[in-house]
Amino acid sequence: MFSFGKKPQQDGVRLDPDRIPAHVAIIMDGNGRWAQQKHRPRVFGHREGMETVKRVTKYASQLGIKVLTLYAFSTENWKRPTGEVNYLMQLPVDFFDTFVPDLVKQNVRVQVMGYTQQLPEKTQKAVQDAIKATEKNDGMILNFALNYGSRAEIVSAVKKIALQVQAGQLSVDAIDEQSVAQALMTAPLAQYSDPDLLIRTSGEERLSNFLLWQLAYSELVFTDALWPDFGAAELKAAIYTYQQRDRRFGGLKK
Ligand code: IPE
Ligand code: IPE
Ligand code: MG
């Protein structure tokens, strides 16, 4: 577990306990390259990436992060070979099978955002069971983006709002940023809907259709570490970088 305050850390980095980002979102990238570097099939990287999720969840929860959102499968990832997609659909089953008791112990609550109805039955069931098993936990929310795509999410939100207008429940003039935020998949996260910090691993510096609305004022941190190599030290380094930033939200420096 990390300690804060006066005590210097082994690596010399000290986090400010008062400025831990409440919502951290991660684009977990680089599993395939990690495996290829080891001359193993891509799915070997996905398997190892699952272990990273376990480690990072534990440290994030110990740090006092309120919401950890992990991009696990995008609406565009269906373009991959069937074998890889099938493997990725089995992973949540294996992950929750082995990890739910730990999540309960860590007081972590599982949530999922995305077009889950399009997932195979077994994946949907694994997800629903994990949500149910952890619903009473009031610690960190572990929010998986599964078959998630931000453009599709925005289209769905626009349709939802149009239907409300059509039904006479909402006037066009009353549509504001809050009504849009309410119609997005992050609405259940309430005051934590927008990530404070976005991390992407593997050296790629793009959003790949992730949380386009919600990231408007997030701090972005890119690291070359491939996801299976990411761990407590890398998470801590990213939060340290975040703590050096001056968030102005369009205003002036404090
Ligand atoms: C991230 O790793 C996992 C998913 C996108 C599901 P990748 O599979 O994208 O790994 P690279 O980017 O090909 O190395
Ligand atoms: C983004 O990674 C999606 C997830 C991490 C789930 P990709 O590997 O799919 O993104 P691109 O194709 O490099 O943009
Ligand atoms: Mg990738």
Question: Residue 235 is part of a domain; what is its CATH number?
Answer: 3.40.1180.10
pLDDT, tens digit, 9 for 90 and up, residues 225-254? 999 999 999 999 999 999 999 999 999 987
- Name residue, tokens 């006037």: 171
User: What is the average per-residue pLDDT within 38-65?
Assistant: 98
Separation of alpha carbons 127 and 110, rounded Å: 8
Separation of alpha carbons 45 and 35, rounded Å: 5
Separation of alpha carbons 157 and 100, rounded Å: 31
For residue 157, give the 3-state DSSP assignment.
helix
For residue 53, give the 3-state DSSP assignment.
helix
Distance 5 CA to ligand 2 centre (A): 36
Q: Rounded to two decimals, what is the model's pTM?
A: 0.95
Beta carbons within 8 Å of 167's beta carbon, 6+ residues apart: none
In this predicted structure, the answer to whether residue 208 has a pLDDT above a threshold of 60 is: yes
User: What are 110's strand-pairing partners?
Assistant: 142
pLDDT, tens digit, 9 for 90 and up, residues 138-168? 999 999 999 999 999 999 999 999 999 999 9
For residue 171, being part of any structural domain is answered with: no
Ligand nearest to the CA of 27: 2
User: What is the average per-residue pLDDT within 161-182?
Assistant: 98
Q: How confident is the model at residue 11, as a pLDDT?
A: 64
Which residue blocks in 17-145 are alpha helix, DSSP H? 31-37, 42-63, 82-105, 121-133
Separation of alpha carbons 108 and 180, rounded Å: 28
For residue 81, being part of any structural domain is answered with: yes
> Which among 45, 46, 64, 79 is positioned nearest to 141, based on CA atoms?
64
Residues in the chain: 254
Nearest CA to ligand 1 atom 6: 73
Distance 137 CA to ligand 1 centre (A): 30
For residue 173, being part of any structural domain is answered with: no
**137 among known catalytic residues:** no
Ligand nearest to the CA of 70: 2
Separation of alpha carbons 234 and 229, rounded Å: 9
DSSP state letter for 9: P
**138 among known catalytic residues:** no
Provide the domain count of the chain: 1
Whether residue 227 is annotated as binding a ligand: the answer is no
Structure confidence at residue 6 as a pLDDT band (50, 70, 90): very low
Q: Hey, what are 184's tokens?
A: 């997005």
Active-site position among 11, 16, 77, 147: 77
User: What is the average per-residue pLDDT within 200-209?
Assistant: 98
For residue 178, being part of any structural domain is answered with: no
Report the chain's terminal Cα–Cα distance, integer Å.
Answer: 32
DSSP state letter for 171: -
For residue 167, being part of any structural domain is answered with: no
- Name residue, tokens 């210097």: 8
User: What are 220's strand-pairing partners?
Assistant: 198
Distance 30 CA to ligand 1 centre (A): 5
Structural domain span for residue 129:
3-149+191-243
